[in-house]
Structure 1
Amino acid sequence: MADSKTILIAEDSSVILNLTKKILELQKYRIVSAKNGGEVIKQVESQPIDCVLMDINIPVKDGMECTREIRRHSDPRIAKIPVIAITGNANNYSMEQFREAGVTDYLPKPWTLMPSCVW
């Protein structure tokens, strides 16, 4: 699995986290997780991450603020990580708000497919 992409799932719901993890592991992705926004930056700084699936409504720091922090990171490898916002409230956000935060793309919950723009 040396060639496997690593995906960070930032999700506070254990049910959604476990389901997402199982789906992606079946596709041969390596999965790491963060239960809140405080853990997201720690995870991206501690290991190479290829993509973040970012729940917008996570505790501590919401997904939009975590994405802004990733985009401002001094390490260009971290600042360029694709961030896919995941939200059950996509209608509460405009594409402009997602773009302003640095979101690469978004998926409404419940989701079933990875967006093709990631890689």
Structure 2
Amino acid sequence: MTAKKILVAEDSSVIQNITKKVLQFQNFDIKSAKNGQQVLKMIEKEDFAAILMDINMPILDGMSCAKKIRSLDDSTKANVPIIAITGNAQNYTMDDFKDAGINDYLPKPLNFDKLVLTVKKYAQ
């Protein structure tokens, strides 16, 4: 069975590395990006089972990036599940996330059991 590819978009190396290790332990194949612009370049080249998207990233933030993904011509790529990761979830409502095309969100500090369950729920 091929490992499902998950894209972790997070500008914090620490969070990115821990998330990567936790998900690799669950047999996911992890790619990572530091900003929304890198996410868009990577999604052009390969398909992902899900994207973990930090909301506050340099160059192109998670909300804007999610909207750009949802407007892609390739429907497989445009419909990839996007899970927001945010340290200030109280600044957004689930409606804000849904309007941007985000399927779900995880607050920081990350609960790694919830991270694994959420990724498994969407990465099918």
Q: What range describes the TM-score normalised by the shorter chain of this pair? A: over 0.9
**Which position in structure 2 is the counterpart of 1:110?**
109
Q: Which sections of structure 1, spanning at least 5 residues, go unmatched?
A: none
Match of 1:26 in 2: 25
CA RMSD, 1 decimal = 1.1
Where does residue 74 of structure 2 map in the other structure?
75
Aligned position for 2:2: 3
Question: How does the TM-score come out when normalised to structure 1?
Answer: 0.95
TM-score (norm 2): 0.91
> Quick one: distance in 1 between partners of 2:53 and 2:40?
12
* CA-to-aligned-CA distance 1:26-58 (integer Å, 9 cap, x gap): 000000011111101111111111100000001
Q: What residue ranges of structure 2 are gaps of 5+ in the alignment?
A: none
The equivalent of 1:47 in structure 2 is: 46
Instruction: Give 1:83 shift.
Output: 0.1
Map of 2:58 onto structure 1 = 59
| Equivalent position SS for 1:81 | coil
The worse-fitting range, judged by mean Cα deviation, of 107-116 and 78-87 is 107-116
Q: What residue in structure 2 maps to residue 88 of structure 1? A: 87
Tell me how far apart the structure 1 counterparts of residues 109 and 26 of structure 2 sit (CA, whole Å): 18
Write the distance in 2 (CA, Å) between the matches of 1:96 and 1:105: 10
What corresponds to 1:98 in structure 2? Answer: 97
Q: For 1:9, what is the secondary structure of its paired residue?
A: strand
Distance in 2, Cα, partners of 1:92 & 1:50:
27
For residue 117 of structure 1, report the CA deviation from its aligned partner: 3.6
Deviates most, 105-114 or 47-56: 105-114
Alignment length, in residue pairs?
118
1:38 aligned partner, one-letter code:
Q
CA deviation map 1:46-103 (0-9, x unaligned): 1111100000001101000000000000000100100000001000001111010000
Aligned equivalents of 1:40 and 1:48: distance in 2? Answer: 11
